[in-house]
Structure 1
Amino acid sequence: MTQASKRALITGIQGFTGRYMAAELEAHGYEVVGTGSQASTEPRYVQADLTDAVSLRTVLADLQPDVVVHLAALAFVGHGVADAFYQVNLIGTRNLLEAIAACGKTPDCVLLASSANVYGNASDGMLGEDTPPAPANDYAVSKLGMEYMARLWQDRLPIVMTRPFNYSGVGQGENFLLSKIVSHFRRRAPVIELGNLDVWRDFSDVRAVVAAYRGLLEAAPVGQTVNVSSGVAHSLRDVIALCEQITGHRIEVTVNPAFVRANEVKTLTGDNSRLRRLVPGWATPALQDTLAWMLDAR
């Protein structure tokens, strides 16, 4: 079957990553259908709430996708209600897997987006897929729980698990760090409040992340967990300096103690060698290029 005749289902298609994922798959010939919890008049969109198991089964029986990319999740770590993480990320994913298994067609690949947050604060330095998880908040626990739950379906569904590290791009909400910094530079704000400037993090470009997901759908390394990361760490001081260099605008950085986490890990970098083996030629742009794209966005 050619890609052109393959139907891809993207859950959370109206989210930041979902829109880029749809564009990536359409550019490579897939017929894309998306779901989300909100009503919408967009074409090829079906309203389907992950927490509603019955309607999800109806939707999947109708769509019968060839591949599934499961992006829908409650993602903002600062979200106030812990229960919601488990309802959506854990129970919602279980409902989805049940609906896929019952739909009458086994897809070629079901890609589940977990999170590098599962590694938590216990490990410094370069994190590989075999690094023991140590989640440090409800969001991360809900994602790790989702991973374990999904393993129970491995004999019935061709599941691939991804653990994306931080990534950014045009259109991401300002409650994410790089987007917050970029928005301050775009409006030439004189001051920005941040937390610890000396933490080093691994940042990728959303366009590279969705290219990795597409590559994994096609390679279908069933049963594997794959980091999606740049393999390079930058400090927040680096990010500020790059933005100043690109825009010529100087900004005063004040450290807000409320933004400093007590048990913050100094350096988090993802080992992406498994991804590069599975998807030959995959790469993410240099952080400077991603920032320049975001700063220049119309």
Structure 2
Amino acid sequence: MSAASTALSTTQPARVLITGLQGFTGRHMATELEQNGYEVWGIGSATPGEPRTLEADLIDTASLLAAVQTIQPQYVIHLAGIAFVGHGQPKAFYDINLVGTRNLLEALASVADKLKCVLLASSANVYGNLQSGLLSELNPTNPANDYAVSKLAMEYMARIWIPRIPVVIARPFNYTGVGQSDSFLIPKIISHFVHKRDTIELGNMDVWREFNDVRDVVHAYRKLIEAAPVGQTVNVCSGNLVSLRDALVLASELTGHQLKACVNPVFVRANEVLQLGGDPALLETFVADWHPRPLRETLAWMIAAETNVNKA
């Protein structure tokens, strides 16, 4: 019987702790889990409107330990961290993404006998900018910025906790969706089209990337904690590459608006790889129903949400 079946067939649903529950991915992750019979808990800045969310900080080991011992999770999905590569304080990447994760694992060690799987969200950024094509987990890592270095360091650090803690590492490639900050590329594009801007400033537009849907990503995360391939590192990717120019065309078709896209040299990265995506072969062994949505569907969802916000 699978972990999902167990969660649904007992009077007490399986309990999942999500760090970063209040963030972009965390909210979608909670929805995915709740729709599949799990009891979701979170840690972070607790607010009155947030049920089952305990006040805890990744840098404060005492608050983490208290929260973990109160929640007694069977599964953990660790999403909390600084995800924007352009964040202005490099030290924060290491404080949160590396040291904060270690603090979490130390706290989880106190309930290790209950844990079935702990998924740590790393990043495909660990592969760097010097490799092209569809990358598998066997490709060498070559992080090119502090964010990527902090994530790779987190991966190495986490391995020293195995087998005491059943850790699985996920390396998501680019993904987007409703609720993502417009400091990221696709939400920025959607905002410009919905608000009918005349121009948009971007970096190199002759690049091909994955732009996966956050709903598919959280589905993959759920399937991974159920499969619990402890010690594995798994790319969460589709292999579906779309050029930035094609993304602009899709947004224009869906909104009926046209704008002028200009290259701002500030946004152009040196030695940028033209085509970069992931090989989903390993992921598909754990997620048998892996059928990621096409970008058009994701953009239509985001455009509808942005339009409704403007009408409100």
Q: Same fold (TM over 0.5)?
A: yes
23, 40, 49: which one pairs with 2:47? 40
Residue 28 of structure 1 aligns with an amino acid whose one-letter code is N
Give the superposition deviation at 1:104: 5.7
Residue 142 of structure 1 aligns with an amino acid whose one-letter code is S
Select between 189-198 and 1-10 the one with higher mean Cα deviation: 1-10
Asked if structure 1 preserves the Cα contact closer than 8 Å seen for 2:172 and 2:237, the reply is yes
Hey, what's the Cα distance between the residues in 1 that align with 2:68 and 2:253? 49
Q: Within 5 A, what are the aligned runs for 1:36-185?
A: 36=44, 38-41=45-48, 42-103=50-111, 105-185=113-193
Q: Which runs of 5+ in 1 are unaligned?
A: none
Hey, what's the Cα distance between the residues in 1 that align with 2:277 and 2:53? 36
Which residue is equivalent to 2:233? 225
1:272 is aligned to 2:276: no
Q: Which runs of 5+ in 2 are unaligned?
A: none
Asked if structure 2 preserves the Cα contact closer than 8 Å seen for 1:61 and 1:104, the reply is no
Asked if structure 2 preserves the Cα contact closer than 8 Å seen for 1:90 and 1:142, the reply is yes
212, 220, 231: which one pairs with 2:220? 212
Q: Cα deviations across residues 30-88 of structure 1 (Å, max 9, x unaligned)? A: 0100112x241211111210011121111111111010000001111111111110010
* DSSP-derived class of the 1:79 partner: coil
Asked if structure 2 preserves the Cα contact closer than 8 Å seen for 1:57 and 1:103, the reply is no
Runs of 4+ in 1 over 4 A off after TM superposition: none
Number of aligned residues: 297
Which residue is equivalent to 1:3? 7
Residue 289 of structure 1 aligns with an amino acid whose one-letter code is E
Asked if structure 1 preserves the Cα contact closer than 8 Å seen for 2:43 and 2:56, the reply is yes
Asked if structure 1 preserves the Cα contact closer than 8 Å seen for 2:112 and 2:165, the reply is no
Give the superposition deviation at 1:106: 3.2
Residue 251 of structure 2 aligns with an amino acid whose one-letter code is C
Which residue is equivalent to 1:291? 299
Residue 193 of structure 2 aligns with an amino acid whose one-letter code is F
Give the superposition deviation at 1:103: 2.8
Give the superposition deviation at 1:283: 1.6
Residue 220 of structure 2 aligns with an amino acid whose one-letter code is A
Hey, what's the Cα distance between the residues in 2 that align with 1:239 and 1:32? 34
Percent of pairs with identical residues: 59
Residue 66 of structure 1 aligns with an amino acid whose one-letter code is Q
Residue 217 of structure 1 aligns with an amino acid whose one-letter code is I
Give the superposition deviation at 1:130: 0.9
Select between 45-54 and 99-108 the one with higher mean Cα deviation: 99-108
Asked if structure 1 preserves the Cα contact closer than 8 Å seen for 2:65 and 2:108, the reply is yes
Which residue is equivalent to 1:16? 24
Asked if structure 2 preserves the Cα contact closer than 8 Å seen for 1:64 and 1:104, the reply is no
Residue 3 of structure 1 aligns with an amino acid whose one-letter code is A
> CA RMSD of the aligned region, Å?
1.0
* DSSP-derived class of the 1:268 partner: strand
Residue 38 of structure 2 aligns with an amino acid whose one-letter code is Y
Which residue is equivalent to 1:31? 39
Which residue is equivalent to 1:194? 202
Hey, what's the Cα distance between the residues in 2 that align with 1:190 and 1:152? 52
Hey, what's the Cα distance between the residues in 2 that align with 1:220 and 1:283? 20
- Could you state the TM-score of these two structures normalised by the residue count of structure 2? 0.93
Hey, what's the Cα distance between the residues in 1 that align with 2:108 and 2:148? 24
